[in-house]
Structure 1
Amino acid sequence: MQRLSLSSRLALLFAACTAVVSLFAGVLFSRASEAHFIELDQQLLEGKLIGLRRALHDIQSSESDVRLAEELSRQADLSLRITGSDGRRWYDSSTNLPDKLPQRPGLSTLNNDGADYRVLNAPLFVNKTDSPRLTLLLDITHHQHFLQRMQHLIWLTMSLSALATALLGAWAARSGLRPLRRISTVASRVSAQSLNARLPEENMPPELAEMAHHFNAMLGRLDNSFQRLSAFSADIAHELRTPLSNLLTHTQVTLTHPRAIEDYREALHSNLEELQWMAQLVNDMLYLAKADHGLLMPERETLDLAQEADLLLEFFAPLAEDAQVNLSRDGSARLAGDRNMLRRALSNLLDNALRFTPVEGEVRVKLTEQPDGVKLSVENTGKGIDAQQLPRLFDRFYRADPARREGSSEHAGLGLAITQSIINAHGGQIRCESAEGWTRFVIQLPKGH
């Protein structure tokens, strides 16, 4: 079975609501009209009852029949039956009265041969137990016809209202859902080659504006991710092209004619260096791929960051001495984290700082305990980084120094990206600041558990 469209569902819902409201209002109006007529009839019958009792105060009087006929003549649709206390019929004002009438005191309704009557039973003498009984019958057939016509009109009005509401609801739903069709149209045009399509948020109704905003944000994220993936693939090919070309060229040259054993050994050592660099590049890319999929699960152990920083500074001390760079550490802090991962992140930052610190420069590691975590910064003197480059420093394969050789066996531009992944895996953040002759990488880490 084909499912109903949203417009059809809304139209049927509007029609059903209108029908229910119309029916409810019609029933209330019909009941109110019927109660009003009953009240009027009761007032009329009770008024006539008083006049009839006065006319019949002396039932043996010769004038009682005249006064009774005069009283009944004033209401053409009113009839009277008088019965004795033993149930025998004494008097009928009309020959067309039903044989059996309601016997219970008070007001009741009777239908007989297509005619409707309002019946009122009451004693002639209120204070006598053996008093004759008066039964007044008021013909209300015209009232009932009016109520029946009104009910038919209610059903007709309800049907027409439901139909009109369904048509208007379908039109309103179709007009109101036009932005959804626009979203569908935009979504149908989205592909890997066209991720720049966006919905016009300013023309959207408030209920759909937020969805359009999130839809545009989703397209923006997809576009950004696709561009990064394309750039990442191009960067991988770009980085691997030079070492592969070097390996092929070196191997082909070595095999052009027979050589001594030492020459082959030297060629293999040279190839080994390139292969080791390529293996490290592949391992780094796999590490970043795990980080992208949330597979980096750091172990938690209490670490003395001052001690960890001192060990790394001791490791880099020979390189700093050769480069005539001063290494120092200020402050101390403790937190729960993964020792190996944090060592790798800090090592990447120190290696990066040493490479860009001029002779007689300075590299400092600062540790600060904070109420909600730890602040760690690695800063170095030297030429600052342009503000436009700062947001891209953590991109993969990005090099702030364009003079560096392509396919370098030392650095592929993944160190800062790996550092950011490690910090993110610990629930922290990292940023770079560069001003007044200092370049500073600032890390905010929660203390953990």
Structure 2
Amino acid sequence: MRPLSLGTRLSLLFAACSAAVSLLAGLFFNQASEAHFVELDRQRLAGELAVLRGLLDGVADQADLPGRLPAVREELARHPELSLHIIGGDGHLWFDSLPDSDPAALRTLEARNADGTRLVVRLNIAHHRHFLEDMQRMIWFGVGLSALATALLGAWAVRRSLRPLRRMGEVAGGISASSLTTRLEQDRQPAELAELAQAFNAMLARLEDAFARLSAFSADIAHELRTPLSNLLTQTQVTLSRPRALEEYREALHSNLEELQRLAQMVADMLLLAKADHGLLLPNREPLTLGTEIDTLLDYFAPLAEDAGIHLERRGDAQLMADRGMLLRALSNLLDNALRFTPAGGEIRLELTGTPSRLRLEVGNSGPAILPEQLPKLFDRFYRVDPARREGDGEHAGLGLALARSIVRAHGGEIRCESSEGWTRFILEFT
């Protein structure tokens, strides 16, 4: 069964609250009216009883009663709703002015004389009961009418109040890849919806950014794959354009193999990034002595650094539970990046500092500083600080830093870049 709409729920709630308040007010008024009538009747009975006791003063025997009855009947005639009941001291009924009255419609007040005679004055309250019954019917009618009116007014007010929410639904329904720039006007939203509008706009901003990144990523993939594929096609077409010696075919195949290896590496890197994006990059942790691992890595890069006249240095040591292969891959990417951007005669320094709760690894290289506006983009896929290096650079596709960040985050760490005063530092922190 489909649940009731929010507007229907609020309308029914308003109607129920209005009916409950009206009913309580009506019952309170009914009780107050009845108590007021009871008090008036008692006062009237008391006054009339005093008058009748005066008229019957001195009657000690039933034989004395006939002489007083004319005055009693005259008094009762002035008040037709009143009746008198006289019971003697012996318990016998001496007089009853209205013997056929309904006891349920009477309110009585009794007085006893010194000789034991009892006077019972009775007041007919049928007109009071009719009034109270009519008032109860009016109360129920008012309760129903107020509930209906409140439900209708509540439905109108709720529908009007929920108009901004419907507007949000319309905006959300119209969102597409071509309209991610749409935003809700936060300043015109009610206070209760302002926070929701802000969160909605923030969500659209994130979607717009993610879509822009995805579009750029798709364009970059096409761009990066186009160059090696074009090289493969061109070289293969040239090789097959005429008969060649066996050695020429062998050289062409070796050249194609290099391009295919770069393509395979690029595809593997993108698959690794895709796994990281979906939380599927799970490191196989083991205790590592980072000083030893970094020294091994520096020995591998030493020939390249020596050819470029770059000095490599490690400072400090620390222990870390990490996946050896993944961590060395991230550090290799950082060292390769540092070697490419360190001028001849420069220096690359790796510094390790650790506490029981935090480990810091810094990979720094001397050289020109990176512009501040470029720092946030360094870890984007296919991004290069020097745009001129994009064309024809098949060896470095611009995925190294993105891979390094994914690996560091998979280990629960963070990586950032600082560049100033002739040094560029990539800082890795693990907790």
TM-score (norm 2): 0.91
Q: Is the 8 A contact 2:283 2:322 kept in 1?
A: yes
Q: Partner of 1:361 in structure 2?
A: 346
**Cα distance between partner residues in 2 of 1:301 and 1:54:** 115
Q: Partner of 1:106 in structure 2?
A: none
Residues 396-415 of structure 1 aligned to structure 2 (within 5 Å): 396-415=381-400
State the 1:53 CA deviation: 4.5
Gaps of 5+ in 2: none
CA spacing shift, 1:347–1:85, aligned 2, 3 Å: farther
* 1:218-255 CA-partner distances (Å, limit 9, x unpaired): 11111111111111111111111111111111111111
State the 1:25 CA deviation: 1.1
* 1:289-329 CA-partner distances (Å, limit 9, x unpaired): 00010111123333222222222222211211111111112
**Cα distance between partner residues in 1 of 2:252 and 2:324:** 38
Q: Partner of 2:95 in structure 1?
A: 91
Q: Is the 8 A contact 1:398 1:413 kept in 2?
A: yes
Q: Partner of 2:83 in structure 1?
A: 79
* 1:323-377 CA-partner distances (Å, limit 9, x unpaired): 1111112222223222222221111111111110011101111112246311211
1:277 to 237, 249, 262: 262
Residues 219-298 of structure 1 aligned to structure 2 (within 5 Å): 219-298=204-283
AA partner of residue 95 (structure 2): Y
1:335 to 320, 324, 343: 320
**Partner-residue secondary structure (3-state), 1:403:** helix
State the 1:42 CA deviation: 3.0
Bigger drift between 304-313 and 67-76 goes to: 67-76
Residues 166-181 of structure 1 aligned to structure 2 (within 5 Å): 166-181=151-166
**Partner-residue secondary structure (3-state), 1:410:** coil
Q: Partner of 1:394 in structure 2?
A: 379
State the 1:94 CA deviation: 3.1
**Cα RMSD between the aligned structures?**
2.4
AA partner of residue 119 (structure 1): T
Q: 2:136 matched to 1:151?
A: yes
Q: 2:178 matched to 1:193?
A: yes
Q: Is the 8 A contact 2:384 2:390 kept in 1?
A: no
2:106 to 109, 113, 117: 117
AA partner of residue 96 (structure 2): D
AA partner of residue 307 (structure 1): T
CA spacing shift, 1:146–1:316, aligned 2, 3 Å: same
2:296 to 298, 305, 311: 311
Q: Is the 8 A contact 1:239 1:407 kept in 2?
A: no
Q: Partner of 1:113 in structure 2?
A: none
Q: Partner of 2:418 in structure 1?
A: 433
Q: Is the 8 A contact 2:23 2:140 kept in 1?
A: yes
**Partner-residue secondary structure (3-state), 1:430:** strand
Bigger drift between 411-420 and 344-353 goes to: 344-353
**Cα distance between partner residues in 2 of 1:228 and 1:206:** 34
Q: Give percent identity, aligned residues only.
A: 61
* 1:128-164 CA-partner distances (Å, limit 9, x unpaired): 8xx4544332122222232233223323332332233
Q: Is the 8 A contact 1:394 1:416 kept in 2?
A: yes
Q: Partner of 2:27 in structure 1?
A: 27
**Cα distance between partner residues in 2 of 1:302 and 1:71:** 116
**Cα distance between partner residues in 2 of 1:94 and 1:405:** 119
AA partner of residue 24 (structure 1): L
State the 1:395 CA deviation: 0.5
**Partner-residue secondary structure (3-state), 1:388:** helix
Q: Partner of 1:39 in structure 2?
A: 39
State the 1:71 CA deviation: 5.8
State the 1:266 CA deviation: 1.0
**Cα distance between partner residues in 1 of 2:197 and 2:4:** 24
**Partner-residue secondary structure (3-state), 1:303:** strand
AA partner of residue 33 (structure 1): S
**Cα distance between partner residues in 2 of 1:132 and 1:335:** 111
Q: Is the 8 A contact 1:58 1:64 kept in 2?
A: no
**Cα distance between partner residues in 1 of 2:2 and 2:399:** 54
**Cα distance between partner residues in 2 of 1:360 and 1:50:** 128
**Cα distance between partner residues in 2 of 1:249 and 1:55:** 139
**Cα distance between partner residues in 1 of 2:281 and 2:45:** 94
CA spacing shift, 1:138–1:208, aligned 2, 3 Å: same
* 1:247-288 CA-partner distances (Å, limit 9, x unpaired): 111111111222222111111111110000000000000000
TM-score (norm 1): 0.88
AA partner of residue 390 (structure 1): L
State the 1:422 CA deviation: 1.1
**Cα distance between partner residues in 2 of 1:66 and 1:313:** 136
Q: 2:348 matched to 1:348?
A: no
Q: Is the 8 A contact 2:288 2:322 kept in 1?
A: yes
**Partner-residue secondary structure (3-state), 1:396:** coil
Q: 2:400 matched to 1:420?
A: no
Higher-helix-fraction structure: 2
**Cα distance between partner residues in 2 of 1:335 and 1:373:** 10
AA partner of residue 40 (structure 1): L
**Cα distance between partner residues in 2 of 1:387 and 1:96:** 109
**Cα distance between partner residues in 2 of 1:346 and 1:359:** 21
State the 1:46 CA deviation: 4.2
CA spacing shift, 1:2–1:357, aligned 2, 3 Å: closer
Gaps of 5+ in 1: 102-109, 111-115
Q: Is the 8 A contact 1:379 1:439 kept in 2?
A: yes
**Cα distance between partner residues in 1 of 2:370 and 2:21:** 72
